[in-house]
Structure 1
Amino acid sequence: MLLNIKQNEKLLLTIFLSLIFLALNSILCKAALVSNLIDAYSFTFFRIISAALTLILIYLYKNKKLVFNTKTNWLSSFMLFIYAICFSYSYLSIDAGFGTLLLFAIVQLVMVFASLFYKEKINIQKVIGIVLAIFGLIYLLYPTQSFEVSFYHAFLMIISGVAWAIYTIIGKKSINALANTMDNFIKATLFIVLFYFVFTIDNLHYSFNGVVLALISGSITSALGYVLWYEVLPKIQIITAGVIQLFVPILSIILSIIFLNETLTNTLLVSTVIIILGILITIFSKTK
C-alpha cells in the first residue's frame, strides 16, 4: 500500500511538471511571436533543433552511446513537427484565448474518440469530470465581445491540435521516454529543414531575445517537458491524458499573470476551480 501511494505521488508530480512545461511553452511562444522578436518559422526551427541537441546530450550522458533507428518513430516525429509549425504560424493571427480553447478542445475531442476506438472503460464519474472540465474551459475562454477570426489560422490551430493528440496517443506505447522523445525531435529536425526548402520560406527575421526564447522553449520546456509527458502516458488512460491537458490553458494564463503582468479576473478564478475539480474527478475515478 505504501509503495502504491509513493508511486501515485511520483506520477502526480510528473504530470504536474510536464503540464508546467507545456504551459511555459505557450508563454515563451507568445512572448516571442506576439512581440515580433522572431518569425514563426525561425522560432520553430530553433525550438526543435535545440530540443534535439539537448536530448542527444542527455542520452549520451546516460548511455555513453547514441542509437538512431531509421525505421521507427516517423509518424510521431511528423506529428510533433506538424504540431509545432502549425501552432507557431496560427499564433501570429489568432486571438490567444480563442486559440487555446480551439487547440485543447480539438485535442480533447480526438482523444475521446481514440479512447472509444481502443475500448477504454469510461465510468460515469469520469464522464462527469470530463464535462465539468470542458465547461470550465469554455467558461474561461468563451469570447464575451464580438471578434473576428482568421479561418485560415484557426484551421492551422485545428491541425496543430489533431497532431498533438496523435503524438500523445502514440506515446501510450512508449517504453523508453528519453530515447523515444530524442528520436522524435531528431527526425522532426529533418522535417523542419525540408519545410524550408519545399515552401521557400522568406521574410525571416530574428533578434537575440527571440532566439533565446526559442532555445529555452526547445532545450528546456520542450525537451524535458515532452520526456516527462512520454513517461506519464503509458501509466494513464487516453481519456485521462486528454482531460488533464485541459489544465494547460489555466497554467498558461496564471503564468501570464506572473511573467507578463496580465490581470487576475473573477472569471479566471472561478473557471480555474471548475477545471481543477473536473480534472481531479477524472483522475481519481475508479474504473470497474
Structure 2
Amino acid sequence: MRAGPLQLFLVTALAMTAFAANSILARLAMATGEAGPWSFTLIRIVSGALVLALIVSPRRAMTSGSWLSAAALFAYAAAFSLAYLSLAAGTGALILFALVQITMLGWSLVSGETLAPARWVGLLLALSGLVWLLLPGLEAPPLTGAVLMAGAGIAWGIYSLRGRGHASPTAQTAGNFLRAGAVAIGAAFPALYLTSEAMPSAHGFAYAVVSGAITSGLGYAIWYFALRSLTASLAGIAQLTVPAIAAAGGVVFLSEPVTLRFLGATALILGGVALASMARRHAAS
C-alpha cells in the first residue's frame, strides 16, 4: 500500500527526525557521562534487535541477515558512540553522512561505473567541504572523534551497499541487528572490563534504549515504509536533512554552537551530494 502525499511527507519527516535523534541521544549520553560508549552501543543494538524481531517475527529475524552485514553494523554503532565522546551532534552527523555517500560513490568507481561530469563535480564539492571542516583551526572538530565518525560512515556505507536492493529490507535489518547483538555482547563486555567503564545511569540507559528501540528499530521500519512511495532521488534528498536536524537538536538540547565553518562545510557537502545524487538518477532514467 502506497502512502498519500501528506502521509508520505509526515512519515518521511518522522524517519529523518529519528535518524537525527540518534546523534542527539548519543551525544547527550556521552557529553553528560550518563553512559559510556560501550554500554550505549550494547544496549542500543540489543534493544533495536528486540523491537525489529517483534515487528517481523522472531523466526523470520533469525533466518534473515548475514554475519558480514552484522559486523559492519556493529562497527558503525561502536565507532559512532566512541566518536560522540568529543564531537558535537551536528558535526558528527555531517561527517557520518558525508562518508556514507562517499563510500557508496567510491564503490561505484571501483566497480567500473563511469561517472557523469556532474557527479564528479558533486563528489569533489562534498570532499572539499569535508576537508574544510577537518582543517586544523579553532573551529575544527577533535581529530580522534572525526576519524572515528569517518570510520562509522565507511562501515555504514558498506552495510548499505550489502543490503541495497533487497526484497525484504526490514527482515534483513532485523536479522542483522540480532547477529550484531551477539557480536556486541562478545565485544562490549571485554571492552567494558578493559576500560573500566562505569555502568550507565538510569538516564543513560534510557537514552540507549530509545536510540535502539525507537529511533533505530522503529525509525528503520518507518523509513522502509516511506521508501515504497519515494523515488530514489527524493529519498536521497530527504536524507540531506539529517545533519541539519541533528545540528538544530544539538543547539536546543546541548547548547552547542553552530560555527561559520560548519555552515559552509555543510553547504558544500550536502550540495555536492545532492548534485551527485540527482545526476545519477537523471542518467539512470
Task: Name the TM-score, length of structure 1 as normaliser.
Answer: 0.76
Q: What's the CA shift for 1:178?
A: 1.3
Shift of 1:86: 1.8
* Structure 2 partner of 1:204: 198
Contact residue 101 and residue 138 of structure 1 kept, 8 A: no
Aligned residue in 1 for 2:69: 76
Identify the residue that residue 254 of structure 1 maps to in structure 2.
Answer: 248
Q: Which runs of 5+ in 1 are unaligned?
A: none
Q: CA deviation at 1:271?
A: 5.6
* C-alpha distance in 2 between matches for 1:142 and 1:17: 34
Matched, 1:219 2:213: yes
* Letter in structure 2 aligned against 1:194: G
Map 1:35-50; keep pairs closer than 5 Å: 35-50=32-47
Matched, 1:67 2:63: no
Residue 156, structure 1, aligned to residue 153, structure 2: no
User: Is 1:171 the counterpart of 2:167 in the alignment?
Assistant: no
Aligned residue among 46, 51, 62 for 1:54: 51
Q: Does 1:194 align with 2:190?
A: no
Query: How far 1:260 sits from its partner (Å)?
Result: 3.1
SS at 2:174 equivalent: helix
Q: Closer, same or farther in 2 for the Cα pair 1:42/1:92, shift >3 Å? A: same
> 1:186-241, CA deviations, whole angstroms, 9 ceiling, x for partnerless residues?
1111001111354462333211111111111001111133345567599749xx96
Q: 1:122 to 1:229 in 2, by over 3 A?
A: farther
Q: Contact 1:174–1:230 at 8 Å: present in 2 too? A: no
Alpha-carbon distance between aligned partners in 2 of 1:276 and 1:109, rounded to the nearest angstrom: 11
Name the residue aligned to 1:117.
110
Q: Amino acid of the residue matched to residue 214 of structure 1?
A: A
Identity of aligned residues (%): 34
**Native 8 Å contact 2:83 2:148 kept in 1:** yes
Q: Per the alignment, do residues 178 and 210 of structure 1 end up closer, same or farther by CA in structure 2, a change over 3 Å counting?
A: same
CA distance 1:148–1:54, change in 2 (3 Å)? closer
- Distance in 2, matches of 1:91 and 1:141, equals 16
The Cα of 1:137 is off from its aligned counterpart by: 5.6
Given that residues 90 and 250 in structure 2 are in contact (C-alpha distance below 8 angstroms), is that contact kept between their aligned partners in structure 1?
Answer: no
Is 126-135 or 207-216 further displaced after alignment?
126-135
CA pair 159-273 structure 1, distance change in 2 beyond 3 A: closer
C-alpha displacement at 1:45, in angstroms? 1.2
Question: So what's the TM-score if we normalise by structure 2?
Answer: 0.76
Structure 1 residue 125: Cα displacement? 2.8
Paired residues in the alignment total 274
Q: Helix, strand or coil for the counterpart of 1:173?
A: coil
Q: Distance in 2 between matches of 1:96 and 1:43?
A: 16
Does the 8 A contact of 2:122 with 2:275 survive in 1?
A: yes
Amino acid at match of 2:247: I
